[in-house]
Amino acid sequence: MRPAQYRFNSSLRSSTSSQQANELPTKSTTTESGPTDNARVPRSVQALYLAPLRREAEYGVPSADLQLRSYSRRGLILFSDFALRAAYYLGLPAFGPVPLPRITERWTVPRSHFIHKKSQENFERITSRRLIQIRDGNPETVQIWLAFLRKHAYPGIGMKANMWEFEKLGVGKAMDAAAGEAKGLLEPQWDHAGAGKIPTTVARAKALEELAKKEGYAQTVQRIKEELVTSRQMVAGGR
């Protein structure tokens, strides 16, 4: 009885395996009537079942570090795989994901405010982390990669990126010049930041300064008081 049963199972498995092999779409074939539906699975679909492809770094200079955090390991692994595939198609050499030490937080709180007030319960939260490093990457391409990850962010995943950029000598002078230009553009905006946001604040201050030079000190103080009273009345009246 047993040998016959084993022979029956083996024959059944061989028949089913041969039938499945015949049904798998391996490649497209053409006949006299036309092309058949047995088309090959696209390479992009096949790549989903394989490990992510990676670019080789020529110099190995770090360009960016991306740290992923999550309370769920499944979502963290999924998004890490997604980030590596996106880096490959953008031509960025990516290394990782490197597991970082987990962050464990615990809280002890009372169970209730009534009958269970004296008893306590503990809560624990574990944060898993992964690190992906980009080397020999163009800063603009790295920005595109990070923007793509932000656009297609997975729920429950936190991201923190550190980038490195290389500048020419004398970058400090260029930054000082840019700061001076920005200061000149902001001065007209600060003119409107008076007590009541009155547009003529700077003009009145200049007029009072010229008046103080021409007349005496007491008269100048009296005129300043009058100007302040007038300004307060305008602000109180909603002008």
Beta bridge partner(s), residue 67:
131, 160
Domain ranges of the chain: 46-163, 191-239
pLDDT tens, position by position, for the chain (239 residues)? 334 333 333 333 444 444 444 444 444 445 555 555 677 888 888 888 889 999 999 999 999 999 999 999 999 999 999 999 999 999 999 998 999 999 999 999 888 877 777 888 899 999 999 999 999 999 999 999 999 999 999 999 999 999 998 888 888 888 888 888 777 777 766 666 655 555 556 677 777 677 666 656 667 777 778 888 887 777 776 55
* pTM of the complete model: 0.57
- Distance from C-alpha of 165 to C-alpha of 154, rounded to nearest angstrom: 28
Query: Which fold, 46-163?
Result: Alpha-Beta Plaits (3.30.70)
